[in-house]
Amino acid sequence: MCVVLADLSKEQKVPAMSQSGEKGKFPETAGYVGFANLPNQVHRKSVKKGFEFTLMVVGESGLGKSTLINSLFLTDLYPERYIPGAAEKIERTVQIEASTVEIEERGVKLRLTVVDTPGYGDAINSQDCFKTIIQYIDNQFERYLHDESGLNRRHIVDNRVHCCFYFISPFGHGLKPLDVEFMKAIHSKVNIVPVIAKADTLTLKERDRLKRRILDEIAEHGIKIYQLPDADSDEDEEFKEQTRVLKASIPFAVIGSNQLIEVKGKKIRGRLYPWGVVEVENPEHNDFLKLRTMLVTHMQDLQEVTQDLHYENFRSERLKRSGRNVEEDVMDKDQILLQKEAELRRMHQMIAHMQAQMKMKGDE
């Protein structure tokens, strides 16, 4: 998790050198204004405010979602977990469970919300299982929109879903029809990061084949997953290389575990089998470290894309829709006016007619 601080520390180097002008590197020289200190102030403020991040995990039961989340953040988000039996699952619909945890590391506070979706893909007929999830995402956007348009905008709580880990089963030959349908339904609302779960079931060749297959199918169906941004040209080579490696490993094939096993005298997290030990944090065994690196280095980017792309899309759709509603009301009023005028004219005619009749009678 120390990479978060590394980013900020790069900017810390800046105040020592002036960026505003060619003349002089020292604060006392003329031409130095001092706004190079701005990043520092931002940094201090954000550290005090803390960061918020909402992560949604979607996948069939038994793919190791909870174990992976616990391994990623080194916490236990589900202390009293109850796994229902098959008979109960028949009646269940998809539920949304959000658990929030505050993690602090080196003075930086992170308020992490993990949204779990138990019941996804369990039922025999999974036609409706993503309706609930889409509704939840839309509700969060709706609430943010409402807060943003409100009077008091000081303490807007950002509960929008910033990232969705979609767990793909390693037992199939690629994406299942359910996977494709779900991703097509939410790729315009949330950043999708596909993850291959329980990767210790695959040999190296199988894993590569599966990754290629999944990428092909994603391209074939036009699913827009989250694209890692290319490293800026002024970053150092190491960072560029890291980004390249990360981009090449999507989807990540991960293994999760919170059990400590002793291997060659060291205690590491892993899974103990009769034929060997799978180490969670060994990059040769699986992509867990890459997933964690991606998440922490790009947390900010994920939030930005959610704000700039998905939220803006939602907002424009929403406002367009409510605009159309207003027009329809106006049209209705016009119609009512016309109707009333027509009635008046008819009544005028009737009165004129009656007056004429009375006149005739009077004449007689």
Partner 1 sequence: MTVCGRGQWSSSAAGPAVAVIEGGRRRGKEEKEGKERQEHREGLGSEVNPSHSNMTDSAKLHQPHPPPKGERSHAGDFSYVGIDAILEQMRRKAMKQGFELNIMVVGQSGLGKSTLMNTLFKSKVSRKSAQPNPEEKIPQTIEIKSISHDIEEKGVRMKLAVIDTPGFGDQINNENCWKPIMKFINDQYEAYLQEEINIDRKKRIPDSRVHCCIYFIPPTGHCLRPLDVEFMRRLSKVVNIVPVIAKADTLTLEERDDFKQTIREELRANGIDVYPQKEFDEDAEDRLINDKIREMIPFAVVGSDQEYQVNGKKILGRKTKWGTIEVENIAHCEFAYLRDLLIRTHMQNIKDITGSIHYEMYRVRRLNESNAGPGLAPGQAPTLVPAHTNGQTKVNGGPPNGMAAQCEVLTHEM
CB nearer to partner 1: pick between 61 and 95:
61
Residue 252 near residue 215, CB atoms below 8 Å:
no
| Peptide bond preceding 251 in cis form (omega within 30 of 0) | yes
Q: Is 204 in the site for partner 1 (CB under 8 A)?
A: yes
- CA pair distance 200, 248, nearest whole angstrom: 20
Q: Is 127 in the site for partner 1 (CB under 8 A)?
A: yes
CB nearer to partner 1: pick between 78 and 239:
78
Instruction: Out of 27, 50, 172, 229, point to the residue binding partner 1 (CB under 8 A).
Output: 172
Q: Is 363 in the site for partner 1 (CB under 8 A)?
A: no
CA distances (Å), origin 4, targets 9, 10, 37, 123, 240: 9, 11, 20, 40, 16
Q: Taking CB under 8 A as the criterion, which residues in 252-311 touch partner 1? A: 271-279, 284-285
Q: Is 61 in the site for partner 1 (CB under 8 A)?
A: yes
In the complex, minimum distance from the CB of residue 172 to partner 1, in angstroms, rounded to a whole number: 4
Dihedral sign of CA atoms 74, 79, 85, 86 in order: negative
Binding-site size, partner 1 (CB under 8 A): 43
Contact range with partner 1 by CB under 8 A, out of 22-30, 58-66, 68-76, 335-343: 58-66
Long-range Cβ contacts of 68-73 (<8 Å, 24+ apart): 68/165, 68/195, 68/197, 68/254, 68/256, 69/114, 69/256, 70/256, 70/258, 71/256, 71/257, 71/258, 71/269, 71/280, 71/288, 72/256, 72/288, 72/291, 72/292, 72/295, 73/101, 73/103, 73/112
Q: Is 323 in the site for partner 1 (CB under 8 A)?
A: no
Contact range with partner 1 by CB under 8 A, out of 102-110, 146-154, 163-171, 293-301: 163-171
Q: Is 171 in the site for partner 1 (CB under 8 A)?
A: yes
Residue 340, φ and ψ in degrees, nearest 5: -65, -40
Contact range with partner 1 by CB under 8 A, out of 19-27, 37-45, 151-159, 169-177: 169-177
Q: Is 223 in the site for partner 1 (CB under 8 A)?
A: no
CB nearer to partner 1: pick between 33 and 86:
86
Instruction: Out of 18, 70, 71, 126, point to the residue binding partner 1 (CB under 8 A).
Output: 126
In the complex, minimum distance from the CB of residue 78 to partner 1, in angstroms, rounded to a whole number: 13
Place of tokens 């953040």: 73
Q: Is 83 in the site for partner 1 (CB under 8 A)?
A: yes
In the complex, minimum distance from the CB of residue 104 to partner 1, in angstroms, rounded to a whole number: 32
- CA pair distance 27, 24, nearest whole angstrom: 8
Q: What is the DSSP string of 241-268?
A: HHHHHHHHTPSEE------EEEETTEEE
Instruction: Out of 203, 233, 322, 325, point to the residue binding partner 1 (CB under 8 A).
Output: 203
Instruction: Out of 53, 55, 122, 190, point to the residue binding partner 1 (CB under 8 A).
Output: 122
Q: Reduced to 3 states, what is the DSSP secondary structure of residue 217?
A: helix
Residue 307 gets which letter from DSSP?
I
Positions touching partner 1 (CB under 8 A) are 60-63, 83-87, 89-90, 122-127, 169-174, 176-178, 181, 198, 200-201, 203-204, 271-279, 284-285
